[in-house]
Amino acid sequence: MSDHLPPEIVLEILYRLPVKSLVKFTSVCKAWNSLITDQTFIYDHLNRTIQASNGNNFLFFHLYFHELRGQRRHLLMHNEYFYSLYSVNKQTDHSFLERLPFSHLFQLNHWDVFFSTCNGLVCLADSYSPLDYETILIWNPLLRKYLVLPKPIKTCKERERLEYSLCFGFGFDSRNNDYKLIRLLNHWRTQDTPHVEVYSLVSCSWRSITVRVPQFCLRNYNWSRTSFVNNGAVHWVVSRRRSDGLDDTFILSFDVAEETFRELTLPRQSGESGWIHSILLVVEGGHSLAIVNCRNENQQLVYNVWVMKEYVSPSHGQNYSNLIRVIMGA
Amino acid sequence: MSSSVEAITVLSSDGDEFKITVSAAKLSKPLNWMLEDVCFSDDCDEVPTIEVNSKTLVKVIEYCEKHAPRANSGASDSDAEELKKWDIEFMKMDVKDILFHILMAANYLHMEGLYDLACQTAADLMKGMTVSQIRKIFHIKNDFSSEEQEQLRRQHPGCSFD
């Protein structure tokens, strides 16, 4: 028996290598290069990695961070602002802080940045941009590569910006092996049907889509703009003005493969008075959606964490279980 | 097969004889088939050959004997933890010299656990290797021109290629 490994065994080993090593080994020879850069290999490698990580990897995003420069640390001199990404692996207890290489494309003086991750890719968007349209980019922190997306089809002029709200979503279309960014341009007051565009990473272009969008407006400017991927869909917490003047709050979801919108109900409590804001989180290794709900009850801040029990549900609404309830002192 | 048989004798590709207990042999599908098909009683003088060299077969049998009790009866968490530690020690071996042979033997003998362990060990060792070290152990000739090589590096400026 020689020590030449047959190709099927080589492939099995490659599946177990981290992305950084795989990129390095594309330069071993042409055969390995085409094997590693093959779409099917990339997809299978991703799936195996997700399965192996078993929901133990986390990405955190520091919106606002500063570094002190110079020898004399007690003097607050030369503050430098930058965004950073913090990732944690619960299983191996390994964590690292990665400084974002493109802070110059953001204004860095406000909190209003869209941020979403999907399969280790990071998508960021900032409407206050040095460009003549919003800065939108997709970043691969492992390969240290980022892509600044081209100008969307419909943009608003600088002076009109306050009249419009922008809403982004980033997700993976497993049917077409494609990453998509969804952008909704919505007029604040009119509650007209928003203009919807989809950017595909495979085709490298924007396209407007005509699709039925439930009437909505973003309830809270800062928090609602964040959306997350779960079961192939992107989610936002939005609201709708009722005829009696009160707001109905619900989850708007967008199926990344189908390119259709749906409405999901929030836990009953959150729609009542005293509501402040809701944040969506993906839990259980991306299989379930959780809602962190903060409300004001008798001058006390009450946080509730709800987990969606079953994602696919008929028109009766989603089922939630209350995980934690925390009351912050008056 | 006689039920009184507790161990069987097999030949390595080098012609050496090895004893393996029946419960350990059951970890391999082909060996299991052999157990059912071939007569292993004392009056049967046919000794089956396994196409694995002696050096590798010693290790494979060692693995089988260690894992057989757990595979046959199930084990507690502490046993599983102990076995995991044993696996790590067991896999401390030279890649080219023996690990690749173990990989091929595990593949040939349909031993899922050992195959998975050996693949992961190989991957962990390769992580720290340079491209030229990889070419050496896999007997690969570099078929890239220096321009092509440079182009690959340019595609991923943030990645190390050494």
Instruction: Write the ipTM.
Output: 0.88
Sort out which chain A residues have CB atoms less than 8 A from B153's CB and list them.
27
Sort out which chain A residues have CB atoms less than 8 A from B152's CB and list them.
26-27, 33
- The whole-chain average pLDDT of chain B stands at 85
Q: Residues A125, A220: one domain?
A: yes
Instruction: Read off the pLDDT band of A134 (50, 70, 90).
Output: confident
Residue A319 domain boundaries: 265-330
pLDDT confidence of residue A129: 63
Instruction: Read off the pLDDT band of A75 (50, 70, 90).
Output: very low
Determine the topology of domain B7-155 in CATH. Potassium Channel Kv1.1; Chain A (3.30.710)
CB A110 within 8 A of CB A126: no
Domain boundaries, chain B: 7-155
A131 vs B62, residue with greater confidence: B62
Q: Is the pLDDT of residue A100 over 70?
A: yes
Residues 6+ apart with CB under 8 A from A192: A186
- Domain final residue pick, A36, A53, A70: A53
The percent of residues above 90 in pLDDT, for chain B, comes to: 49
Residue A134 lies in a domain: yes
Q: Residues A257, A270: one domain?
A: no
Sort out which chain B residues have CB atoms less than 8 A from A17's CB and list them.
123, 126-127
Cβ distance of B138 and A21 shorter than 8 Å: no
Task: Write the residue in B56, B103, B131 that is nearest to A5 by C-beta.
Answer: B103
Q: Is the pLDDT of residue B55 over 80?
A: yes
Q: Is the pLDDT of residue A110 over 70?
A: no
A179 vs A312, residue with greater confidence: A179
pLDDT confidence of residue A111: 56
B161–A contact, CB cutoff 8 A: yes
Angle at A174 between CA A178 and CA A267, to 5 degrees: 115
Sort out which chain A residues have CB atoms less than 8 A from B140's CB and list them.
28-29, 31-32
Q: Residues A198, A307: one domain?
A: no
Average pLDDT over residues A277-297: 77
B8 vs A90, residue with greater confidence: B8
Average pLDDT over residues A136-165: 83
Cβ distance of B100 and A26 shorter than 8 Å: no
The residue to which tokens 């133990």 are assigned = A56
Instruction: Read off the pLDDT band of A254 (50, 70, 90).
Output: very high
A265 vs A84, residue with greater confidence: A265
A93 burial (CB, 10 Å; 0-12 / 13-18 / 19+) is exposed
**What's A209's domain CATH number?**
2.40.128
- Residue to mutate among B101, B156, B160, B161, with most A CBs inside 10 A, is B156
- Domain final residue pick, A261, A284, A306: A261
- Phi and psi torsions of A130, nearest 5°: -70, -15
H helix intervals, chain B: 22-25, 29-37, 54-73, 77-90, 100-108, 112-127, 131-137, 146-155
Cβ distance of B119 and A24 shorter than 8 Å: no
Q: How many domains does chain A have?
A: 3
pLDDT confidence of residue A228: 65
Q: Residues A36, A125: one domain?
A: no
Sheet arrangement for strand A300-310: A275-283, A288-297, A300-310, A319-328
